[in-house]
Every structure is written in structure tokens, then in C-alpha cells.
Amino acid sequence: MSIQPASNALDRANSEVVLIVDDVPDNLSVLHDALDESGYTVLVATGGEAALARAQQALPDIVLLDAMMPGMDGFEVAKRLKATPQTAHIPIIFMTGLTETEYLVAALEAGGVDYVTKPIKPKEVLARMNVHMQGARERRQARNALDAFGYASITVRASDGRLMWQTALARDLLAQYYGATLPPGPQAPQPVVDWLRRHLKEAEAQIEPPRLTVELGARRLTFRLHQQTGDDDWLIVMREVSDAAIIESMSLAFKLTAKEAEVLYWVVKGKINRDIADIVGSSPATVKKHLERVFAKLGVETRTAAAGMAMNRIRQLHPQFEG
């Protein structure tokens, strides 16, 4: 049996994550293989403490929980999961060999949504899971739809900056824009956490706060606080915009070379020659020469005049441009 370890970087986009908790290896093996073949990402734990740790790390979509285990039993595990804000929403299906009414009532009172009896029948478990997984599927489909239209999404816990989940596109964008500055573990970039905390009062009052924007060359990534999804969890939608098309438009409109158009773009953005040189990978002297040719082609003598002429043309061709 190949067991999927608890991971801080689980790909949540394409499958639900199931945590199986059972102290009997044979039970784990049977369920693991059946769920794995059905397309689930499977995590396992053989005791109560390990189950709590893995649930908090991975935030599974559902937990299959053995009721009777040595040490901390399943009833106590369920109570603790339900008492913890970040895991309280996770549906729990008890697995029990005890069929007396009082045990089944105890399972439901501890926070279980359903139960299956031992010996375990994988088809029955899958059928019961499907009933309780609909909500998780709908959330995942919504996140996939956002990705498909270029809107990445993450959920961040405001108190400690923990990245509760992220779509595949979000993970790629965060790596591109924050790279080596990304904190270790499942943590959101610190500038994003700081922005979220600054605007919590506005968000709690249902007033959309100013958006956060970070630039990477002619690309920029915008963060919009979408909604609260838990006591301390916030859904943030990210959107990347590239101004490569604007640079190309300026090149065609003013008969500029690609490099001249790029230099003019950064003049419009208010950058000085030294900054432009760093951005485009040239020396300040080279940028100055490009700019002199731009002035000649536009028939102007100053940066301000060149920027004004370019801005007017950009707004005609790209009304959504934010200078």
C-alpha cells in the first residue's frame, strides 16, 4: 500500500482529499486502495493524535474515523475536530463495529454526519461519502471555473497568515511574483497578510477594501478581498493583467522598435531612466538613447510630452489601462 503523506502542498484542484483514521492496518489497506482507485487523494492516521495533526495540516474534504481506538478514541477525535474552527466544517463518517443504539447516538453527538458498520464494505463507504461530498465538489468546481477564466483564488487565515487552500493557478502566480520571499510552509506572502489585516474592519462591514497590486515587469497581479468563509478565513481572488499588448500597440502606433516602445511604456508609468534600465536589462545610457529616438519619432522634446501623447493613444486603444 502506497500511503499519501500529509502535505502542505496538496493539489486540491482535481480531487477530494480523504483522511482515514484506523489503528488496524488491514482496514487502512482495503479502504486506501478502493478510494485511490476511485480518484481520491488518500491520507491515513493510525491514532487520535496523528489524526488531529493531519487534519489540521491537510484540511481534508472528509474524514473516515474509526470509533474504537486505543488511547484517544474516535469520539474524542471528532469532538476536537468540531471544536477547532479550521476543521469544524469537515464531515466525519464513523466506522464502527458497535451497532448498539447508544454508540451510534454517541457518534452523531460527537459530530459525525453518518456511520458505516464493520466489516467495512468499500462500495458502501463510497456511496455514503458521495452523499456528503457534494458541497466539496461544488466548491472545487467553482475554484476550477475561476482558474479557467484567469481568476486564481486563495483562502487565508487572518490571525496567522496560514494559506488554507489555493488553486493551481494561484500557486503558480504566487511563486512567480513572490518567489524566494514566500514564507516556508502553507503561509501566504507577508504583504498579502498585512494588506488583509489592514482592511479587516472594512471587510467585516461588507465594504470592499482597496485592492492590492504587485508588479512584475509589464505584468501586474491584483488581489481582491471577496468574502469571509469562516470565523477567521477570507477568500481572496487574484487576477493577472499583462500590458504586453499595450506595448505592442505603442510600437505600431508610433512606429517604434519593441525596445523603444517598452522604454516609452515605463516613462508613462513614471519611471526614471535608472529604474527603466533595471527593468529592461539595459544601462541608463542605452535607455537615454532609446528615449532620444522616441522623442524624435513622436516629435516632442520632453518626457512629459512623450508620456502625455502615449497616454492619450493608449486610452483610445485600451480604455481599461490604469496609468
Task: Pull the grid cell for residue 251.
Answer: 510600437
Q: Determine the residue type at 121.
A: K
Look at the pTM and tell me if it is higher than 0.75. no
Do residues 151 and 238 make contact, with C-beta atoms less than 8 angstroms apart?
A: yes
Please report the pLDDT score of residue 307 as a whole number: 92
- Side-chain half-sphere CA neighbours of 282 within 13 A: 16
Do residues 220 and 214 make contact, with C-beta atoms less than 8 angstroms apart?
A: yes
CB count in 10 Å sphere of residue 275: 14
Please report the pLDDT score of residue 101 as a whole number: 73
Query: Digits of tens for pLDDT over the chain (323 positions)?
Result: 444 444 444 555 567 899 999 998 888 888 999 999 998 999 999 999 999 999 988 889 899 999 889 999 999 999 999 888 778 878 999 998 876 677 778 888 888 888 888 888 999 999 989 888 876 677 667 666 666 666 788 889 999 898 887 887 888 899 999 987 877 767 899 999 999 999 988 888 888 889 999 988 778 899 999 888 777 889 899 988 777 878 888 899 899 999 999 999 999 989 999 999 998 888 999 999 999 999 999 999 999 999 999 998 888 877 666 65
Which residues are registered as beta bridge partners of 216?
219
What domains does the chain contain, in order, with CATH numbers?
A: 17-132 (3.40.50.2300), 149-242 (3.30.450.20), 244-317 (1.10.10.10)
Long-range contacts of 77-84 (CB under 8 A, 24+ apart): 77/21, 77/48, 77/51, 77/52, 78/107, 78/110, 78/111, 78/112, 79/110, 79/111, 80/52, 81/52, 81/55, 81/111, 82/110, 82/111, 84/56
